């Protein structure tokens, strides 16, 4: 049962007909008092309520009603209806516990999408995935990562906007790809936009497109990113870097799901699912006046935070194995073993660049190291350094490596090619190890 609360009979009638045509049962209330009489005696699945009433044009009565509904039924989603000019009031409502807000005049399809999403995500009406959630591209077993994936699995079948937080290199783009691949939009495009690399002057033309002649140099029509993502998902990376003027324009398209290409008077509908990501502290940016609070509430209906690699060290062996399999599959090389000492060394790192930095280290070390085994010394040769706790162990490894090189040289009679073969490394790698340990070879 959906409770419709509005003092305008035409609005209630319009909503009732729309919802009944789409299989929902409704109950109507013309005032907060009527709404609370119903709420005290029954539990609605969702409340759809206007923020302004004839006796209170400032919205205070609407905020009070929202808070009262939440006292009786804290788990029931409330969607607020407000005019575009009253979005600050809707933001206040979100702070007070509302699930979402929509502006007048609303688009019927958008209204139905918001209702279906609210019901699905609050468990008042189940969203049954059409296929089993595929986690195969995401490596790790850390409990915090598993919690993120559980959330993604639950929201993927809906159109709920998702905000992905995390440091650079933690895999935010991978999570966005999983969301899209497991959604009902998976057959349509996933369009990725790095907002951090988009200047204010190019924002509108890049995001919304333009018509020929819209400005000097616009010699042909061009589709914007929202048009390219039609029917699919748009991934807005680094949204925390968007300037304030562009934030206003972004808010309008995310709120109304419409936009106009530059030089065109026709309004286009944006049928897209929005996924955003940032490594910035958006709440701090809001406090500093650098990010709009209304935009924040529009993009963060669902928020997930990816843990940094230094907080999921037990996943490093799994990640290293995956990275090696991937790199070797491309090159046709046999997958080398990674020594326990090397794994310990990798786990001891802080990895400020997270998985991206680990991937670069593994791939670089694999590229320059021959043989069927990667040792700690191979990673150290590529610039990896142990932390203080591991210094003693690595010193022992260095001593062992120096002894092994000296022994191979002795057996090979000083012949570097044969010594490298005995060690299972290339001649070039052997040269680097000789320099590292300051080993002099007669005749070299």
pLDDT tens column, 304-349: 999 999 999 999 999 999 999 999 998 888 999 999 999 999 999 9
Q: 304 — phi, psi (to 5°)? A: -125, 145
Helix-strand-coil percent breakdown of the chain, rounded to 5? 50, 15, 35
pLDDT for the residue 56: 46
pLDDT for the residue 291: 94
DSSP-derived secondary structure letter, 438: T
Q: 126 — phi, psi (to 5°)? A: -70, 145
The pair of three-digit structure tokens given for residue 165, joined into one six-digit string: 């937080």
The pair of three-digit structure tokens given for residue 285, joined into one six-digit string: 């940016």
Kindly list the structural domains of the chain, giving each domain's residue range(s) and its CATH number in brackets, ordered by start. 2-121 (3.40.50.2300), 143-307 (3.40.50.300), 310-436 (1.10.8.60)
**Coil, strand or helix at 261:** coil
pTM, two decimals, is: 0.74
pLDDT for the residue 433: 79
In sequence order, what E strands does 144-239 have?
162-165, 190-194, 209-210, 222-223, 233-237
CA angle, 292 as apex, 75 and 169 as ends, to 5°? 85
**C-alpha to C-alpha distance for 251 and 285, rounded to whole angstroms:** 16
Residue 187 CA: distances (Å) to CA of 173, 224, 225: 18, 20, 17
Which residues have a Cβ under 8 Å from the Cβ of 100 and sit 6 or more positions away?
Answer: 77, 79, 80, 94, 114, 117, 118, 301
pLDDT for the residue 28: 92
**C-alpha to C-alpha distance for 342 and 124, rounded to whole angstroms:** 50
pLDDT for the residue 167: 93
Q: Which residues of the chain have pLDDT under 50?
A: 56, 126-129, 388-393
């Amino acid at each position: 049962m959906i409770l419709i609360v509005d003092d305008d009979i035409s609005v209630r009638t319009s909503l009732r007909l729309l919802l009944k045509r789409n299989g929902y049962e409704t109950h109507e209330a013309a005032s907060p008092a009527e709404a609370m009489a119903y709420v005290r005696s029954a539990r609605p699945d969702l409340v759809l309520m206007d923020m302004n009433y004839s006796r209170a044009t400032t919205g205070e009565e609407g905020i009070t009603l929202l808070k009262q509904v939440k006292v009786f039924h804290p788990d029931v989603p409330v969607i607020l209806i407000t005019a575009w000019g009253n979005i600050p009031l809707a933001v206040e409502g979100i702070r007070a516990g509302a699930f979402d807000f929509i502006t007048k005049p609303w688009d019927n399809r958008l209204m139905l999408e918001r209702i279906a999403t609210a019901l699905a995500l609050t468990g008042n009406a189940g969203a049954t995935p059409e296929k089993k959630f595929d986690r195969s591209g995401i490596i790790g077993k850390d409990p915090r990562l598993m919690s993120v994936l559980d959330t993604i699995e639950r929201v993927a079948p809906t159109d709920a906007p998702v905000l992905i937080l995390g440091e650079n290199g933690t895999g935010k783009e991978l999570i966005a790809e999983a969301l899209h691949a497991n959604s009902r939009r998976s057959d349509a495009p996933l369009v990725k936009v790095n907002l951090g690399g988009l200047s204010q002057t190019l924002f509108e033309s890049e995001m919304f497109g333009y018509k020929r002649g819209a400005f000097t140099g616009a010699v042909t029509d061009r589709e914007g990113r929202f048009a390219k993502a039609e029917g699919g998902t748009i991934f807005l990376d680094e949204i925390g870097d968007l300037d304030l003027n562009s934030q206003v324009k972004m808010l309008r398209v995310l709120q109304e799901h419409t936009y106009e290409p530059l030089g065109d008077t026709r309004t286009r509908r944006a049928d897209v699912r929005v996924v955003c990501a940032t490594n910035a502290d958006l709440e701090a940016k809001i406090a500093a006046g650098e990010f709009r609070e209304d935009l924040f509430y529009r993009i963060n209906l669902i928020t997930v935070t990816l843990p940094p690699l230094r907080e999921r060290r037990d996943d490093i062996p799994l990640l290293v194995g995956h990275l090696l399999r991937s790199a070797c599959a491309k090159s046709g090389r046999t997958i080398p073993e990674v020594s326990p000492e090397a794994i310990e060394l990798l786990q001891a790192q802080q990895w400020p660049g997270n998985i991206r930095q680990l991937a670069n280290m593994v791939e670089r070390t694999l590229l320059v190291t021959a043989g069927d085994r990667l040792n700690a010394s191979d990673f150290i040769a590529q610039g990896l350094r142990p932390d203080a706790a591991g210094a003693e162990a690595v010193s022992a490894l260095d001593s062992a490596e120096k002894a092994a090189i000296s022994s191979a040289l002795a057996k090979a009679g000083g012949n570097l090619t044969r010594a490298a073969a005995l060690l299972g490394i290339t001649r070039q790698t052997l040269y680097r190890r000789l320099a590292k340990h300051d080993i002099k070879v007669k005749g070299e």
